[in-house]
Structures are given as C-alpha cells and as structure tokens.
A = this chain, B = another copy of it.
C-alpha cells in the first residue's frame, strides 16, 4: 500500500523516505536566467507564459548578484536553419518552436530583464541550458559550485537545467518565485519534484540573504553538507 492510498501527503511520504534533504549553498555561485525572451514572456502566443512577476523576482536576484559580483548567464533559444533543422526531433513535438526564428523579435531578451552588459548571453537549442552549449566549461573554468536558477518554464527548461546541474556536480538552487510556467499544475508539481530529488527550492528572500552575505565577505554557510 502506498501513500497515495493511505492519504499520507506526498510531502510527508517523500520526507520519510529521505528525499528532499538540503543540499545547501556553496561558496561560488552563478545565477542562471533561463529563456526570459519576448516569445516566452508573451502569454498571448504559442510558447508564452504570464511572467510579469517572474521577471520582477528575477530582477531582484539579478540586482543582488550584481552587487555581489556574482556571474550571471542568461540563455536564449533561437533557430538559425531555414527549416528549423537545428531543433532536431524536438520540432516534431512542438509547433511553437517556429516562433523562435533567429533574428526575429521573439528571441530577444525581454527588455524588462535587468541584464548588465557584463552578463553573458548564451544561445541554446534545447531544454537544458547545458545541452549543446559551453555552460559546463564556463562554470568549471570560473570555479562555480552553485547555480541559482531563475526563468522559465519550471516544468521545461528550468527543470531540465536543474537535473543536468546536479548531474554535472553543481548545487542547484531554484529561486521559487523567480521561475514560472504556462500551467499552474505543471509548475507546482515540478517545484515539488525538484525539491524532492534534484535541487533546493527556496524563497527569493533566502537567495537574497545568501547573496548579501557573499557581498559582505562573510562567505557562504554551506553547513555540514560539504562533498
């Protein structure tokens, strides 16, 4: 008999099984901003989602990251081939990828995102920020141990990036109010799944406190979780 039948909540069940422990922040974070482009932030079109609050919360994280001179990497998705061949098999699944033509306005960063010129913008083609990009090399060469993840969508590129981050050996931290989705159900379940299995899902406030500690030179407190 499992928890679904006993009425025990998933939260209680997974906790009792040792899921959802705290990874903790490391000492050298980077902020990842996933796909906050015009096409994804316009809820009226195919791939769009209502992201006004997500962008506002991401900007809070960005401001704190800039103040602490923490590196920032923003992903954008765009396809350069006339028949979207560079979307591979994926274009068979989602007709909406056709709104992501390189050079079109939809693939530009949403102008509300407070990117500084020094923040890196990286082109990706698929769900994970790590797939088909040089992100792992940038993080490793930069001695990053923690990735603070913001952007969209929670159940799509955010989750795929978080899974890769923990696989590659980084500490993934999801800034809860700074990630969003097209579907409330998908959003909430992915937050639950990620917190149980792959990442610490924490309030933006907690991220801000951490970044302020770094700024003040007090250093990160990763607790008893060193690897």
Complex: how many Å from CA A145 to CA B4? 37
Which residue of chain B lies nearest to A123 when distances are taken between CB atoms in the complex? B123
Query: Is the CB of A67 closer than 8 A to any CB of chain B?
Result: no
Number of A positions contacting B (CB below 8 A): 78
Of the listed stretches A104-112, A181-189, A207-215, chain B binds: A181-189
Copies of this chain present: 4
11 more contacts with CB within 8 A, not counting A88-B134, A140-B170, are: A2-B50, A4-B183, A18-B46, A21-B92, A88-B141, A90-B167, A131-B164, A160-B163, A163-B163, A185-B189, A185-B192
Residues on A facing B (Cβ under 8 Å): 2-4, 10, 13-14, 17-24, 43, 46-47, 49-50, 80-82, 85-86, 88-96, 118, 120, 123, 125-128, 131-134, 136-143, 145, 155-156, 160, 163-164, 166-171, 182-186, 189-190, 192-193, 197-199, 225, 227
